[in-house]
Each structure stands twice: as C-alpha cells, then as structure tokens.
Amino acid sequence: MAALRAAKQALRKEIKRRVAAVTDQEKQRQSLTVSQKLFKHPKYVSCKRIAVFLSMHDEVRTEEIIKDAFKGGKSCFIPRYESKSSHMDMLKLNSLHDMETLPLTSWNIQQPADNDNSREEALAGGGLDLILMPGLGFDTSGNRLGRGKGFYDTYLERCIKHPKGKPYTIALAYKEQLCQEIPVDDNDVLIDEVLYEDNE
C-alpha cells in the first residue's frame, strides 16, 4: 500500500509539472477540441442527465460543455465536495446565470453553498446517464489518477446502488495528462473512456 501511495504521489507531481508547462492558449485550444469530440459522442448526444465538473485551472475547461448541455435541454448536475470527508453530491444547476453566481470554496472551486438544500441531488431523482470525470492523470485502459480524496470513486459506488445503475463515465484530458500506466488498487473505479486530442 505504501509503495502504491508513493508511486501515485510521484506521478501526481510529474503530471502537475507537465500541465503547468502548457500555456493558457494551448489549454483553451485542447479544451475546445475535446469538447467538440464530446458533442459528437453518442453517449453525450443521447444523455438527458449529465454530471459535469466545474474546471480548475489545470483541468479541461468545461464552460462550453455546460452551455451546450443547457442548449440541448439536458439536466446538468455539478459536484459539491465536502472538504472534511470524501463525500460528494451532484446537485442540479438551474441555468448559466446560476453557475456564474455560485460561491467559491477555499479550493477556489465554485460549488453550491453547504446550506443550499433547495437543489435536487442526482441520485435522489432519476440518477445520471453520463458523468464527465476530472482527474490529474489517465491511461488508455481507463485508469484514473485523482487528487487522492476519493470523491468520484465513492460517488460511483453510490451510483451503482441506484436503480438506474452506473452511469457511463468519460474523462476529459489534456494530452499532457496521459500516462503509460496509472498505478491503481481495488478501490479505484475504471473509467469507460478517456477523451483527449489525439484519439481519433
């Protein structure tokens, strides 16, 4: 276990260094390419209920995806992370304006406030068809390196228990986030697909 943790930590550092070297302009360009791929993806086209992360500076930008989802009449859910645990809920986003007015957390991520209980949680309703996954690193077998808190792995376990079953999962990645092989253990959930610029 200790060896695995050390391997993950070393890889996190390495990927962070690679992504930090990418210019904002290049991140924007790759993000648009990945978004365009997603818009043609049959799982995205057919999905009605989608969970999207609000991107941090080192993640593929998701604003265009959220705009497109609203334009297509999809129900959009975004994460609310609980900083003291590995618990995360996916809460309904009502509009683009709603997104712009969300409060910022100490991690500099926008999310619904802790006392905002008016929003539907995805699993309390009709579940999810598709989850777009963030992460620090990915390999082409669908292994994902997260930030080490286990939010998404824990949430996917909850999804599996929902009557609708596990949603399809697509990771959005810069090509700088791709690795030969991600070290994983039994708690790490495989991703169905990783979208990045080169995989035509």
- CATH number at 139 reads 3.40.50.10420
Q: Which residues span the domain enclosing 151? A: 2-195
- The mean of the pLDDT values for the chain is 93
Give how many domains the chain has, as a whole number: 1
Measured distance CA(56)–CA(54) in Å, rounded: 7
- Model confidence pLDDT, tens digit, residues 112-139: 998 888 999 999 989 999 999 999 999 9
Nearest one of 189, 179, 178 to 155, comparing CA atoms: 189
Question: Is 65 part of a structural domain of the chain?
Answer: yes
Instruction: Identify the band that residue 200 occupies on the pLDDT scale cut at 50, 70 and 90.
Output: low
Going edge to edge, which strands form the sheet with 49-51?
88-93, 75-81, 49-51, 130-133, 168-172, 193-195
Binding-site residues for substrate, please? 54, 59
Given a cut of 60, whether residue 60 has pLDDT beyond it is: yes
Instruction: Identify the band that residue 198 occupies on the pLDDT scale cut at 50, 70 and 90.
Output: confident
Of 52-61, 117-126, 182-191, the poorest mean pLDDT is in: 182-191
Question: Is 98 part of a structural domain of the chain?
Answer: yes
Question: Is 67 part of a structural domain of the chain?
Answer: yes
Binding-site residues for ATP, please? 8-12, 144-152
Global pTM value: 0.94
Given a cut of 70, whether residue 199 has pLDDT beyond it is: no
Question: Is 185 part of a structural domain of the chain?
Answer: yes
Question: Is 99 part of a structural domain of the chain?
Answer: yes
Binding-site residues, please? 8-12, 54, 59, 144-152
